[in-house]
Structure 1
């Protein structure tokens, strides 16, 4: 798992007003794209666990 941070920009003055944390699977794997990563978690009934793991990676335990 890895996280990419995307700037949230206010268009009026192009000021950065926040960041969005984008979760990704292992680079170069079939699960690198978040839609596939979360679909795989959902197929195993682990969507909530995946969401909590992503939150912990970005916000701490």
Structure 2
């Protein structure tokens, strides 16, 4: 999935707003080789998507 403003708004989970970074979202990216979900925390500022961190979630 290409990381565009509209993609983040449609599929990302809103986390909150930071005065410095803007709107924060968690977005599902892919699965790792063990089947765990990979996510990315991004911030939206003036229609631009910028990554902050990546993490893996396990069940």
- Normalised by the size of structure 1, how large is the TM-score? 0.34
* Structure number with bigger Rg: 1
- Normalised by the size of structure 2, how large is the TM-score? 0.35
Determine which structure has the larger helix proportion and give its number. 1
* Relative contact order higher in (CA < 8 Å, ≥ 6 apart): 2
Determine which structure has the larger strand proportion and give its number. 2
